[in-house]
């Protein structure tokens, strides 16, 4: 049953990505910009922003999973948190890679210590530390507790990153989706939403897979322990 | 009700006043930071004035790590961590005690290093400088409230010191960034209307981090 859903998801994902690539690179009209490199680079927006949104979503799941774990002590929630943290780090890594690729032709530099950039890097570091903490601790309820605590405290910095473009002067483009001043042309909006939906589906697929893998590891470890006792 | 917290605070402070280990180490280390910065960035006096607030906080927090690392390492060494976990009291009490002792020790160290900072960077004392007190207080409380709980987390790992740094630095960085901005305003004598809202924001995050840590500390102690 489980694998049927995954297979269906995979097929949908495959076609959704084909469509979004078509939408992003063929269908969406060229933006008006004086610099031709900027016109091409702008298309990275359809990968960059959904990745960032999913990073936030993934870290929210870490937070929610950590709270749920501490309340119920159900290992399931611990594993969901871990899986989500790993995927969140992956997506924020994508953000940190696609950002400089866009910035080089547009700003002329790969990186600047702008608030938005710095805070995204800090966010990445927080969840890398979360994963490192788990590596340093032996498996068990102690590790589950400690990482849940860090998962909850770590999420407190997410709003700071999110609001950083409003709280400080920044070079980073404004949020076009969540603000009233910004507006996207209709085709761009559609392509963006499609890309966002595709990425979200990818997140769902990845977290399912990772969670299954983690439970498998668990069962295997249990069996090994039983064999040792015998 | 707060008896446990106060006993822990008293014990920690007594230990510190007898050995003076943390404060002395922190103070000397801060001096070293000033010296190292001076010869690694040979800059003019004008630039020095601009980076002075940042330098002050670098000295504060790098040295503060000593105190944080000490705080739970000592308990673990003597098996006291387990004893604390067995105490029939709310874990939050232990957190409050530890938080208070770390904060008080750090504030005392800051008070001792600040005159040196003034002399080294030839800053002029004025009445306006009193505005630094709430800034340092808010920044330090943010640092120690997070630092205390993360130190208790890190103490369970093999690589306690490095892990505490990895966990604490990114999480506390917004508070430190704001504190540096605020200190810069005071030191340059340009306290704008943005000062109080920003100070309030640091205070708000202090409250959030403190309350969360207080609530979560029980989970760290239990096995």
Asked whether the beta carbons of residue A133 and residue B220 sit closer than 8 angstroms, the reply is no
Nearest beta carbon to residue B170 from set A125, A133, A145:
A125
Residue of B nearest to A123 (CA): B170
State the first-to-last Cα distance of chain A, in angstroms, to the nearest integer: 33
Q: How far does A72 lie from chain B, in Å, by closest CA?
A: 13
Distance of residue B170 Cα from the nearest chain A Cα, in angstroms: 5
Q: What was the pLDDT predicted at A97?
A: 92
Q: Which of B54, B151, B153 to mutate to test the interface with A (most CBs of A within 10 A)?
A: B153
Q: Are A142 and B155 in contact (CB under 8 A)?
A: no
Other beta carbons within 10 Å of B115: 10
Instruction: Give me the DSSP letters along chain A.
Output: -HHHHHHHHHHHHHHHHHHHHHIIIIISPPPP-SSHHHHHHGGGHHHHHHHHHHHHHHHHHHHHHHHHHHHH--HHHHHHHHHHHHHHHHHHHHHHHHHHHHHHHHHSSS----HHHHHHHHHHHHHHHHHHHHHHS-SSHHHHHHHHHHHHHHHTTHHHHHHHHHHS--SSPP-TTTSSS----HHHHHHHHHHHHHHHHHHHHHHHHHHHHHHHHHHHHHHHHHHHH-
Which pTM was predicted? 0.87
Summarize pLDDT for B37-91 with one digit per residue, the tens: 888 877 777 777 788 889 999 999 999 888 888 888 888 887 887 888 787 888 8
Rounded to the nearest integer, the mean pLDDT of chain A is: 84
Nearest to A142 among B156, B167, B174 (CB): B156
Measured distance CA(B69)–CA(B156) in Å, rounded: 12
For B41, which DSSP code? S
- Cβ contact, residue pair B146, A153, below 8 Å: yes
A67 contact partners, CB below 8 Å, separation of at least 6: A148, A152
Find the CB nearest B158 among A136, A141, A146: A136
Residues whose CB is less than 8 angstroms from the CB of residue A204 and which lie 6 or more positions away in sequence, other chains included: A9
Considering A45-49, A81-85, B118-122, the range whose residues carry the highest mean pLDDT is A81-85
Query: CB-CB: which of A126, A132, A154 is closest to B163?
Result: A132
Which two three-digit tokens encode residue B16?
């510190």
Determine which of B162, B173, B204, B223 to mutate to test the interface with A (most A C-beta atoms within 10 Å): B173
Q: How do residues B115-167 score in pLDDT, each as one tens digit? A: 898 888 877 777 778 888 999 999 999 999 999 999 999 988 888 888 999 99
A153 and B CB contact within 8 Å: yes
Question: How many CB pairs (< 8 A) connect A and B?
Answer: 70
Q: Would you state the pLDDT for residue B145? A: 95
* pLDDT surpassing 90 at residue A45: no
**Token representation of residue B96:** 């409050």
Q: CB–CB of A126 and B170 under 8 A? A: yes
**A142 and B156 in contact (C-beta within 8 Å)?**
yes
B147 vs chain A: nearest CA distance in angstroms?
11
Q: What is the pLDDT of residues B95-104, one digit of tens each?
A: 999 999 999 9
What is the mean pLDDT of the segment spanning A39-59?
86
Cβ contacts of B153 on chain A, cutoff 8 Å: 133, 146, 149-150
A71 has a chain B CB within 8 A of its CB: no
In this prediction, residue B11 has a pLDDT band, given cuts at 50, 70 and 90, of confident
Q: Is A18 part of the contact surface with chain B (CB cutoff 8 Å)?
A: no
Smallest Cα distance from A175 to chain B, Å: 21
| Cross-chain residue pair A149–B174, CB shorter than 8 Å | no
- Nearest by CB to residue A132, choosing from B166, B171, B174, is B166
């Amino acid at each position: 049953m489980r694998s049927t859903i995954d297979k269906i998801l995979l097929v949908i994902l495959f076609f959704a990505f084909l469509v979004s690539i078509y939408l992003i690179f063929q269908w969406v009209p060229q933006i008006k910009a004086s610099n031709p490199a900027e016109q091409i680079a702008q298309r990275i927006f359809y990968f960059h922003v959904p990745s960032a949104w999913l990073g936030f979503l993934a870290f929210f799941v870490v937070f929610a999973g950590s709270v749920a774990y501490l309340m119920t002590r159900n290992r399931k929630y611990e594993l969901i948190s871990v899986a989500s943290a790993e995927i969140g780090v992956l997506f924020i890594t994508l953000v940190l890679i696609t950002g400089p690729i866009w910035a080089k032709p547009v700003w002329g530099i790969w990186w600047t210590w702008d608030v938005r950039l710095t805070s995204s890097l800090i966010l990445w570091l927080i969840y890398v530390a979360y994963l490192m903490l788990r590596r340093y601790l032996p498996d068990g309820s102690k590790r589950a507790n400690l990482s849940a605590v860090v998962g909850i405290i770590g999420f407190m910095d997410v709003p700071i990153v999110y609001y950083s473009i409003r709280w400080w002067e920044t070079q980073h483009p404004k949020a076009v989706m969540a603000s009233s001043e910004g507006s996207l042309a209709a085709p761009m909006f559609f392509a963006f939403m499609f890309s966002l939906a595709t990425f979200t589906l990818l997140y769902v697929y990845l977290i399912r897979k990772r969670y299954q893998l983690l439970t498998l590891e668990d069962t295997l470890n249990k069996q090994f322990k039983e064999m040792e006792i015998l | 009700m707060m008896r446990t917290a106060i006993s822990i605070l008293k014990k920690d402070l007594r230990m510190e006043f007898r050995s003076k280990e943390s404060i002395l180490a922190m103070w000397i280390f801060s001096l070293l930071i000033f010296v190292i910065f001076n010869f690694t960035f040979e800059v003019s006096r004008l630039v020095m004035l601009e980076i002075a607030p940042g330098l002050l906080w670098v000295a504060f927090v790098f040295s503060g790590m000593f105190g944080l690392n000490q705080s739970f390492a000592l308990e673990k060494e003597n098996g006291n961590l387990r004893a604390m976990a067995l105490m029939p009291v709310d874990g939050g009490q232990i957190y409050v005690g530890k938080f208070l002792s770390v904060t008080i020790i750090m504030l005392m160290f800051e008070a001792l290093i600040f005159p040196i900072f003034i002399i080294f960077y030839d800053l002029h004392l004025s009445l306006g400088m009193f505005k630094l007190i709430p800034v340092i207080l808010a920044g330090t409380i943010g640092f120690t409230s997070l630092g205390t709980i993360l130190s208790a987390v890190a103490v369970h790992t093999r690589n306690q010191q490095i892990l505490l740094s990895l966990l604490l630095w990114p999480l506390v960085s917004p508070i430190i960034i704001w504190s540096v901005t605020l200190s810069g305003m005071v030191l340059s004598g340009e306290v704008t209307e943005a000062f109080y809202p920003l100070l309030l924001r640091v205070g708000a995050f202090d409250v959030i981090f403190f309350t969360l840590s207080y609530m979560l500390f029980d989970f760290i102690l239990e096995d």
